[in-house]
Amino acid sequence: FSNLSRHFETAYGKLQPFSTLLAQQTCRAIAFKMSWFREHQEVPASSLFFLAWHFFTHSYEDATVIHDLPIIHSRHQQGIVLDGFHSELLEAIQRYYSDRSKLNYNWIDKLERLADGIINRNYLDKLNLFKARLYRDWQNPEQAKIAYRSIRTHPEFGMEASSFNG
């Protein structure tokens, strides 16, 4: 994992100076995969990653609402290749904001199956924050506690996880 992280850091650093859409979207894809959410404080609403950034950089209370939901044209996100887990997570987060009624336990099961066998904490931490927030929305505090328990020490998600009393 550390070798992979170094490769991503190198690629990210080399792409940073370029202002082209492809370079910036690739940087955001790398940052999303590696959970480097603070690297991109300003993600434009037109970006495929805008809703994910909003979701992962705001507290539960602030993350649940976006007053002006952006229109995202995923067909216009050319050249960006994400693994299956992150592609599905992006879609689930878009549904979280656009039509939460379509999110159900099947989505959680699908994401868990995609993350099964992956030892990368970045995947599991994002999945657990997503699950915890869904369980809170579904009025299921016991499941939310279980999901939050594994991210209590996370540098970005830990405060929310520790403060949840259910």
What pLDDT is stored for residue 73 in this prediction? 55
103 and 88 Cβ atoms separated by less than 8 Å: no
Number of H helices, E strands in the chain: 9, 0
Tell me the longest C-alpha to C-alpha distance in the chain: 46
Model pLDDT for residues 65-76, shown as the tens digit of each residue: 776 766 665 544
Model pLDDT for residues 88-135, shown as the tens digit of each residue: 999 999 999 988 888 999 999 999 999 998 888 889 999 999 999 999
Give 22-86 as a DSSP string. HHHHHHHHHHHHHT-GGG-S---TTSTTHHHHHHHHS-HHHHT--SSPPP--GGG-TT----HHH
Model pLDDT for residues 18-36, shown as the tens digit of each residue: 988 888 888 888 998 888 8
Residues 6+ apart with CB under 8 A from 19: none
What pLDDT is stored for residue 166 in this prediction? 67
**Alpha-carbon span 90 to 104, nearest angstrom:** 15
Residue 148 pLDDT greater than 80, yes or no: yes
Is the whole-model pTM more than 0.85? no
